[in-house]
Chain A
Amino acid sequence: MSAAPREPGADRDPVLEADTASRNVHQRFVLHEWIRVKLAWLGRLTRHQAWFLLIMLGASWGVVFESFRSHSWRRTVRYEFGVTLNSVIGGGLIATLFTGTLTGVAAVSQTIYWLGFAGLAKMTGSILINVVVREIAPILVGIMLLGRNGMLSVTELGLLTTGGQIRSMQAQGLDPFLLLVVPRTLAFTVGGFTLGILFSFAALLTGYVISRISGVITNPVWTFFYDVVVAMSHMDYLIIPLKFITVGFVVGLGGCLTGLTATSEDNLRTLLPRGFSRGLLIVMAVSVLFSLDL
């Protein structure tokens, strides 16, 4: 008796067949289970899309919470805060004053000239506050913070994360959030306010000096600044500092989080563009949010 030859493709794998059969078993439709699955899918999709935003929100609360706890301010945290503050303000002071001076030449003096030319000199203070101090200054200061110190944080923390040093810090009981993110973010916050005020002052003063030299205005400098201050509304006294503070806060936090969330597949080629684009987006988003009907 000879066995019939096996035809190609006739081989049957009993394991695969059993697996396929088990999948094809008719399952009873359960409404609440179907809804749960769909909601889980929706949640996953939303979380994936809003992942960094959610991290930013959670970490923002964490920074604020930790900053009010006396136990958080250990000497290592104070040291990191001092070093970062020195780097942000001390390192960025000249660049900020220089940018403010250029803005004064390019924007403030031109505004004063054209408003005087159009016979709207009385609106000078109001327009300078609304355009230069409230809109231009936070964006330019935010971009300078991002470029000078934010990218440094992205690089430093990114390399620490991918290199394994962050894990080693955790093994020593050093919480990277407390030791690095909290003090750096708060230093950026103070730095954002300080540099923003200095930038605004430099821009207005330079604009006045240029206009005075060119003979567009003849008022003394005190009168000029008095007009600017008088043009500020009560809300401006709140919004302008808040905008500088928020820009510093989000640039610092965004840079730290971008670095800390780096994966083993990341390197400088992926980290730096991501950090810069996120930072720029954050600065613009804060600027727009504060401009919404306020």
Chain B
Amino acid sequence: MDTRTVGPLLELNKAVPSFEESGLPPVPFSMRIMPGECVVVEARDASRATMFADMCAGLVPLDDGSVKFMGLDWATLKDREINALRGRIGRITRRPSWPEFLSTHLGIALQQLHHTNRPLDEVVAEASRLSEWFGLPGLPVLRPSMLSDSDLLRAACVRAFLGRPRLLLLEDPLEASPVDLENPFLGAMTDARDKGAGVIWLVRNNAIWQAYRQGVTSMWRLADDGLVAVRTG
């Protein structure tokens, strides 16, 4: 599996999602993200936003068109290649994502431990640093059900930014979040972009991203007729 290191990071080329599988409108979606770009997608419906992120991660079957990540079409890859490629995506999702049989620190590091050969100490050190960056007292070791919603949100941020993700699919962590999360989140996002990551930031409310207005590359709206470009100027 040869990934492309130049050119678009993510490319939706007239991708028509299966309505039965996703609930997304079966219309062509076209979008392109280059490394280091930040694209804001306004989606009023949270479940649609999740499904759109799923489509970007190759989880939604397509009726037509293609979705390419790092130059590779999800539809043409084998399962192992798909999983390896998804290991390079950091994601914050509104869908329940914490397995209760794992402690939170394992849930945070699971993706890195599974997909990389990085030494455990290194992963733990980075996770601890990110935990403190996002306002946690340290790497949380309790079960997810023992953490408050805001701490779980911070832990989700740690998980998404851990390692060196090439693509970040962020389903608006700033909505109904503690105020002190905003600056660490924007800082981490800028840092990831500086390292070449592309960001899709799904928001429900346009007011959320105004503080980052200068950093946003383009703005889209997820509507019934697909993705609609919105002028940001």
Contacts and interface: CB of A to CB of B under 8 A. Distances in A.
A52 B97 CA distance: 27
Contacts of B86: 170-173
A76 B98 contact: no
A32 B57 CA distance: 43
Contacts of B183: none
A213 B98 CA distance: 56
A40 interface: no
Main SS class of interface, A: helix
Contacts of B115: 173
B93 A168 contact: yes
Given A164-B96, A165-B98, A165-B99, A175 B111 contact: no
A163 interface: yes
In this complex, the interface size class of chain A, counting residues with CB under 8 Å from chain B, is 20 to 34
B91 A172 contact: yes
A168 B111 contact: no
A283 to B, nearest CB: 24
Contacts of B82: 173
Contacts, number: 64
B57 A171 contact: yes
Contacts of B54: 167, 171
B96 A163 contact: yes
Interface residues of B, number: 28
A159 B79 CA distance: 24
A169 interface: yes
Interface in A159-218: 159-160, 163-165, 167-175, 179
A172 B96 contact: no
Contacts of A175: 79, 83
Given A156-B101, A165-B98, A171-B59, A179 B114 contact: yes
A201 B93 CA distance: 51
Nearest to B93: A168
Interface of B: 53-54, 57, 59, 79, 82-87, 89, 91, 93, 95-101, 106, 110-111, 113-115, 120
11 contacts: A75-B120, A165-B97, A165-B99, A169-B97, A171-B86, A171-B91, A172-B86, A172-B89, A173-B84, A173-B85, A173-B115
4 closest Cβ pairs, A-B complex: A173-B86, A168-B97, A173-B87, A173-B83
